[in-house]
């Protein structure tokens, strides 16, 4: 819906707008002139109120609630009839979708629970915790709920808010199908999530130097808040595997000095067979990787346990890691230019290339083609002297 603003019609103020296929036009200030600042200010407030009512489902099509003197100049019966109609319309709209959103989402979670992988429940539980905190409790308050989710969000990426909207939207769609809601109030609200320009694309090859890599790893181990992630960071810097492959690794994939990558963690928090480019691949564990594995394996680890679980169980939220842990630790290293955490993979591959390892071998280690390795993963060569004649 377009923004409603006061218009100048022959010197008088008029509000014109279309809502649900109907056109409306009236002067919100009786006799108000467009050059009268006080009248124009009042008209702008009325326009804003109408806009909010239209967005939230409280609009009064009789316009009675927007006209301070709407009941004057008419018969008592006509005025009372219009006032009653306005009250009935508002009461009816308040009754529509007045379902507790948290309760509905809990019911939706129970409905989905039978078909969800256990790790997928993490996202559902997070949203329930969000809805407990949210001051807007009813499904009809969808716009306010979305504004609150955006304002409550921390970090630069809004992908987690999109995931929240997606699941709440699915919940309300389900609510309509079972007759709990008259309409899906979240259906068209994705545009309320601000878009974020990713100025540091993960596809941009901008590796760390070997010295910078060592500093980042050491900074994680030294961090009071984020040292839990240090083994994961060192593993990614050492193997060049994709983050979603590392997070999906289980101890049964570590056998006889080899690690087999054969599954990945999807953005929906589910384990999916295969890697991005192949069914599986294996690498031989070197001393450095073996040292990392030794620090994270405990007596409680079973063959099905994950190598890099979240602190409280389940899977590490990569976006949360990137926006909090990674950014916070990199901020403690002012002499190192910030890069996104996917550069750990780019760094490992680039250092492999520069150490003289054949691109065919590297490609098999990291799951890329030799052509991709030679074209994109050499990185900055400005410090390499060209051979003489």
- Indicate whether 389 pLDDT > 70: no
d(CA 194, CA 144): 15
Strands (E), the chain: 7-9, 12-19, 22-26, 254-255, 258-261, 263-265, 271-273, 281-284
d(CA 169, CA 372): 39
Can you give the C-alpha Rg of the chain in angstroms?
29
**Coil/strand/helix, residue 112:** helix
pLDDT at site 62: 80
d(CA 92, CA 110): 30
d(CA 352, CA 213): 13
What is the rounded average pLDDT for all residues in the chain?
A: 85
From residue 295, give the alpha-carbon distance in Å to each of 113, 230, 244, 286: 35, 10, 21, 15
pLDDT at site 199: 42
d(CA 202, CA 129): 30
**Among 131, 52, 133, CA closest to 99:** 131
pLDDT at site 27: 87
Q: Which two tokens stand for residue 377?
A: 């993963």
- For residues 160 and 78, the model is more confident at 160
Contact indicator for 96, 140 with CB cutoff of 8 Å: yes
Residue 381, judged by CB atoms within 10 A of its CB (0-12, 13-18, 19+), counts as exposed
Give the mean model confidence (pLDDT) for residues 316-344. 92
- Indicate whether 40 pLDDT > 60: yes
- The winner for highest mean pLDDT among 69-78, 233-242, 351-360, 379-388 is 233-242
d(CA 350, CA 344): 10
- For residues 268 and 282, the model is more confident at 282
pLDDT at site 102: 94
* pLDDT over 90 percentage in the chain: 49
Model confidence band, residue 194 (pLDDT cutoffs 50, 70, 90)? confident
Model confidence band, residue 294 (pLDDT cutoffs 50, 70, 90)? very high
The alpha carbon dihedral of 54, 60, 62, 64 has a sign of negative
Give the mean model confidence (pLDDT) for residues 311-337. 91
**Among 68, 70, 97, CA closest to 85:** 70
- Indicate whether 193 pLDDT > 80: yes
Give the mean model confidence (pLDDT) for residues 197-215. 75
**H/E run at residue 294:** helix 287-296
Instruction: Give the lowest-confidence range in 103-107, 113-117, 128-132.
Output: 113-117
Give the mean model confidence (pLDDT) for residues 84-111. 81
pLDDT at site 24: 87
Contact indicator for 29, 39 with CB cutoff of 8 Å: yes
Count the neighbouring beta carbons within 10 Å of the beta carbon of residue 355. Answer: 9
Give the mean model confidence (pLDDT) for residues 292-296. 94
Instruction: List beta partners, residue 25.
Output: 16
**Coil/strand/helix, residue 263:** strand
pLDDT at site 290: 94
pLDDT at site 211: 93
| 7-9 and 281-284 beta bridge pairing | unpaired
Q: What is the DSSP letter of 179?
A: T
Contact indicator for 275, 367 with CB cutoff of 8 Å: yes
- Indicate whether 70 pLDDT > 60: no
Instruction: Give the lowest-confidence range in 144-148, 200-204, 296-300.
Output: 200-204
Instruction: Give the lowest-confidence range in 113-127, 266-280, 352-366.
Output: 113-127
- Indicate whether 200 pLDDT > 50: no
Model confidence band, residue 30 (pLDDT cutoffs 50, 70, 90)? confident
Contact indicator for 216, 330 with CB cutoff of 8 Å: yes
């Amino acid at each position: 819906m377009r923004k409603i603003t006061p218009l100048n019609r022959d010197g008088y103020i008029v509000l014109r707008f279309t809502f649900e296929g109907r056109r409306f036009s009236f002067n919100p200030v009786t006799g108000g002139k467009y050059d009268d600042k006080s009248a124009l200010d009042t008209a702008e407030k009325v326009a804003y109120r109408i806009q909010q009512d239209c967005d939230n489902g409280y609009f009064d099509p009789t316009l009675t609630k927007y006209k301070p003197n709407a009941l004057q100049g008419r018969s008592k019966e006509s005025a009372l009839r219009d006032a009653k109609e306005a009250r009935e319309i508002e009461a009816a709209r308040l009754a529509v979708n007045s379902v507790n959103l948290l309760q509905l989402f809990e019911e939706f979670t129970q409905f989905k629970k039978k078909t969800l992988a256990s790790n997928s429940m993490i996202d559902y539980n997070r949203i329930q915790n969000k809805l407990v905190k949210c001051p807007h409790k009813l499904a009809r308050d969808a716009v306010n709920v979305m504004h609150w989710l955006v304002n409550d969000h921390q970090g630069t990426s809004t992908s987690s808010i999109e995931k929240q909207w997606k699941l709440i939207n699915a919940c309300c769609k389900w609510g309509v199908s079972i007759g709990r809601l008259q309409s899906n109030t979240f259906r068209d609200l994705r545009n309320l999530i601000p878009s974020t320009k990713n100025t540091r694309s993960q596809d941009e090859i901008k590796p760390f130097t070997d010295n910078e890599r060592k500093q980042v790893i050491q900074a994680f181990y030294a961090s009071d808040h984020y040292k839990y992630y240090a083994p994961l960071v060192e593993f990614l810097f050492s193997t060049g595997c994709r983050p979603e492959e590392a997070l999906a690794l289980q101890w049964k994939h570590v056998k006889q000095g080899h690690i087999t990558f054969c599954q990945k963690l999807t953005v929906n928090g589910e384990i999916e067979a295969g890697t991005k480019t192949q069914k599986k691949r294996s690498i031989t564990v070197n001393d450095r990787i073996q040292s990392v594995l030794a620090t994270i394996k405990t007596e409680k680890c079973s063959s099905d346990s994950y190598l890099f679980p979240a602190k409280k169980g389940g899977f590490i939220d990569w976006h949360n890691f990137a926006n909090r842990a990674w950014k916070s630790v990199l901020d403690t290293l002012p002499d190192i230019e910030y890069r996104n955490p996917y550069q750990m993979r780019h760094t490992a591959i680039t250092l492999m290339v520069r150490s003289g390892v054949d691109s065919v071998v590297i490609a098999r280690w990291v799951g890329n083609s030799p052509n991709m390795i030679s074209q994109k993963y050499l990185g900055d060569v400005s410090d390499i002297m060209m051979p003489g004649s």
